[in-house]
């Protein structure tokens, strides 16, 4: 009963000084809401990256020509090298027991044209195995087969963005497009996949048989990448070692010498992306924590000013029988009401902001209940920590001096 009365008195006192109360609340509100938003943003980004990895293919190993480094979550090649061939892909499929599908690939930006409309798009020379490797499905038509690849057939499967850019609503299947100066028959259209890990449009692509691409479009006899889908996750390391041994033998690379190719698990990129996201979340979360600290200092300042303004009130209460403990509890309850109230408002605003960001940034909606709970607990600790000193100071006032204060 006494606690409820103290809370009602504290509420009345704080409402009488609205501007000061709002200013002291702002730091805590901003800190709590920022923590929730940043954690929600970080978790949502992680989940989106994981979903994009799944779209690009699971249990996937990439063999790249030359030495490739992962910088800021992106595979980067120092220079163009010509160390991988179609025979390397065939040897991997034949010799690596863990490999389920193998698809060589070479890509190049080129102009594709239909009628009077044209677009610059990615032309990817590959084999039919790329479909199960990268989880491609067809909206209409079909994918090219091995015979069409060996026969250097000029057939193409295109993405929805390409359809939009050059067909203007027409059904592209059966139509002939020109890639560079070479005519290709469109035999299929991919189902939409959206953006990849790096923000590139996965639907702005044209897939053609790899031998056709190398001979008729790119005028080269080497490839840049070999995609390998491993039978199951447990065989990933074994498959990577088998591929390394096969290629070292084919390329006559002696033990201890630097290989002219790089094998990496696509999950390694995911791990780097997640680590970057966690670092970003931790950094922003630390700044939000500082906002909470500033909010606590605001509570301390407000309470100290309140004591000075209420010297006579404290003196009268002591004179009519209030104990030091009563004064201590009264001022501590005001500090807690400020911090807890700010924390609750901050949680509501943080959740609302997280929902809006998820909608506009097209991220998975994740409400970090753990972060919300930790933030609320932090506001309680702040209320106690920054409220004890002014409350104790108020309780120690001499009632006679307090009554004489002008």
pLDDT digits (tens, 9 = 90+) for 151-178: 999 999 999 999 999 998 789 999 999 9
Q: Is the pLDDT of residue 86 over 70?
A: yes
* Structure tokens given for 147: 């015979």
**237/234 Cα distance (integer angstroms):** 7
Q: Is the pLDDT of residue 123 over 70?
A: yes
Residue 232 to residues 85, 100, 109, 157, 187: CA-CA distances in angstroms?
26, 9, 33, 28, 32
pTM for the full model?
A: 0.63
The residues spanned by each domain of the chain are 2-51+272-404, 82-259
Q: For residue range 280-332, what is the model confidence (pLDDT) as tens digits?
A: 667 766 766 676 677 777 777 776 666 666 656 666 666 666 676 766 777 67
What 3 state SS string does 366-378 have?
A: CCCHHHHHHHHHH
Q: For residue range 41-84, what is the model confidence (pLDDT) as tens digits?
A: 777 777 776 666 666 656 888 888 876 655 444 555 555 567 88
- Rounded to the nearest integer, the mean pLDDT of the chain is 78
How would residue 271 be classed by pLDDT, with cut points 50, 70 and 90?
low
Average pLDDT estimate for 253-269: 78
């Amino acid at each position: 009963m006494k606690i409820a009365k103290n809370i009602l008195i504290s509420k009345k006192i704080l409402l009488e000084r609205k501007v000061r109360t709002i200013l002291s609340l702002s730091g805590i509100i901003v800190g709590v809401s920022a923590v929730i938003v940043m954690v929600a943003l970080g978790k949502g980004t992680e989940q989106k990256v994981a979903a994009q990895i799944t779209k690009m293919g699971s249990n996937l190993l990439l063999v790249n020509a030359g030495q490739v480094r992962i910088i800021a979550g992106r595979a980067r090649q120092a220079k163009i090298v010509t160390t991988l061939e179609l025979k390397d892909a065939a040897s991997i499929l034949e010799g690596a027991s863990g490999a389920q599908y193998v698809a060589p690939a070479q890509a190049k930006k080129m102009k594709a044209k239909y009628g009077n409309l044209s677009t610059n798009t990615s032309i990817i020379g590959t084999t039919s195995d790329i479909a199960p490797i990268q989880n491609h499905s067809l909206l209409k038509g079909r994918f090219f087969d091995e015979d069409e690849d060996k026969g250097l057939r000029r057939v193409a499967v295109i993405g929805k963005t390409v359809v939009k850019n050059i067909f203007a609503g027409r059904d592209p299947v059966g139509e002939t497009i020109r890639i560079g100066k070479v005519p290709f028959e469109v035999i299929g259209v991919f189902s939409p996949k959206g953006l990849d890990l790096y923000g590139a449009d996965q639907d702005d692509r044209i897939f053609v048989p790899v031998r056709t691409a190398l001979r008729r479009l790119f005028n080269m006899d080497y490839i840049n990448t070999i995609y390998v889908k491993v039978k199951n996750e447990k065989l990933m390391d074994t498959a990577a070692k088998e591929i390394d041994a096969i290629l070292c033998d084919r390329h006559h690379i002696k033990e201890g010498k630097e290989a002219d190719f790089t094998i990496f698990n696509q999950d390694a990129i995911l791990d780097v992306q997640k680590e970057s996201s966690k670092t970003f979340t931790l950094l922003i979360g630390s700044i939000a924590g500082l906002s909470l600290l500033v909010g606590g200092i605001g509570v301390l300042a407000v309470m100290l000013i309140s004591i000075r303004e209420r010297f006579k009130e404290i003196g009268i209460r002591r004179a009519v029988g209030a104990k030091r403990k009563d004064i201590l509890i009264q001022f501590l309850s005001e500090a807690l009401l400020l911090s807890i109230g700010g924390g609750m408002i901050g949680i509501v605003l943080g959740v609302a902001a997280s929902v809006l960001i998820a909608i506009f940034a097209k991220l998975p909606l994740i409400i970090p209940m753990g972060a919300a709970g930790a933030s609320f607990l932090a506001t309680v600790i702040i209320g106690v920590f920054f409220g004890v000193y002014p409350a104790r100071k108020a309780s120690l006032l001499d009632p006679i001096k307090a009554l004489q204060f002008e």
